Amino acid sequence: MDPIDYFKNILEVKRYSRNTIKNYASMIGKFRDFSEIPLKDRSERAIQDFVFHCVKTEHCSFSTQKQLIGALRLFYREVYKREIEISYLYPDRKQKFLPTVLSPEEVKGVLSNIKNLKHRCIIMTLYGAGLRVGEVCNLAIGDIDSKRMFIHVREGKGLKDRMVPLPAKLLDELRKYWIAYKPSDFLFPGQQGGAYSSKSVQVILKRASQKAGIRKNVTPHCLRHSYATHLLEQGTDIRVIQQLLGHNSIKTTQLYLHISKAEYAKIKSPLDHFVD
């Protein structure tokens, strides 16, 4: 069996999330294409060179670098029963970027520039429920509870299930979508069957934001950040937001305190106290 397929099978048995399996397999596939030497024969130096390439040439993010190293270590441990010591390649410092957040008007502009009903429903679900893109792509029809007005998010990050409120406006659009498309398994199936592609969602969002004249870097996760920030600005308790987002730690959710206009609006700059 192909070693990457074998790796995927192991991760499935160990109950890793579909997203993690997909990402890890993609990273190992990229590593395989980096050299003609068979995967089982590559030295730690060859692995190190690949990580250097990803960091220096492709400028991968801190989080991607950490995930890459984790994927490589796990692959060699599980497939070839070999421990590779590359923990020294983990970044020493963590980047601290404030997330990109759209205003409600900008979100409205994005949605108004998506004419395809299916595409609009996907983006509305991202923002309206604050879901991760993988969570939206993996939604099943039965996960929409229209009677209780909840969306059941199954096996989110950390393989945790959670319930999030189903917006009435989203339900109206989903009903139109169901009549037009008649999905049978996944709520948003891909063209070739199976789950919808995360990359396709990114393309939809990028095109719509460009048409709306938004110059920010609008990604699916940007809509999740916007959802959380807008809830906070509406007065929603931060611990409720933590539960809705599926965060393990309140510290992760507290990031939104730094970008909420609600508190900053109370602050007056000393400049405003100057008298002409």
How far apart, in Å, do the first and last CA atoms of the chain sit?
A: 79
227 catalytic per annotation: no
Q: Could you tell me the two tokens for 215?
A: 């110059």
Alpha-carbon distance 197 to 195, whole Å? Answer: 6
Alpha-carbon distance 194 to 192, whole Å? Answer: 7
Q: Which of 224, 72, 61 minimizes the C-alpha distance to 134? A: 224
132 catalytic per annotation: yes
256 catalytic per annotation: yes
| Catalytic residue (choose from 224, 225, 227, 230) | 224
16 catalytic per annotation: no
Q: Which of 79, 82, 24, 72 minimizes the C-alpha distance to 49? A: 72
Place of tokens 């992760």: 252
Q: Could you tell me the two tokens for 120?
A: 């609009």
**Residue 145 backbone phi and psi in degrees, to 5:** -100, 90
77 catalytic per annotation: no
Alpha-carbon distance 39 to 19, whole Å? Answer: 23
Place of tokens 């048409």: 211
Alpha-carbon distance 81 to 267, whole Å? Answer: 58
**Residue 195 backbone phi and psi in degrees, to 5:** -75, 155
| Catalytic residue (choose from 30, 32, 53, 221) | 221
221 catalytic per annotation: yes
| Catalytic residue (choose from 73, 119, 120, 132) | 132
Strands of 150-153's sheet, edge to edge? 144-145, 150-153, 162-165
Exposure of 65 in the CB half-sphere (CA atoms within 13 A): 24
| Catalytic residue (choose from 127, 196, 227, 256) | 256
Alpha-carbon distance 230 to 134, whole Å? Answer: 22
| Catalytic residue (choose from 18, 53, 157, 206) | 157
For residue 164, what are the β-bridge partners? 151
Give the catalytic positions in this structure. 132, 157, 221, 224, 247, 256
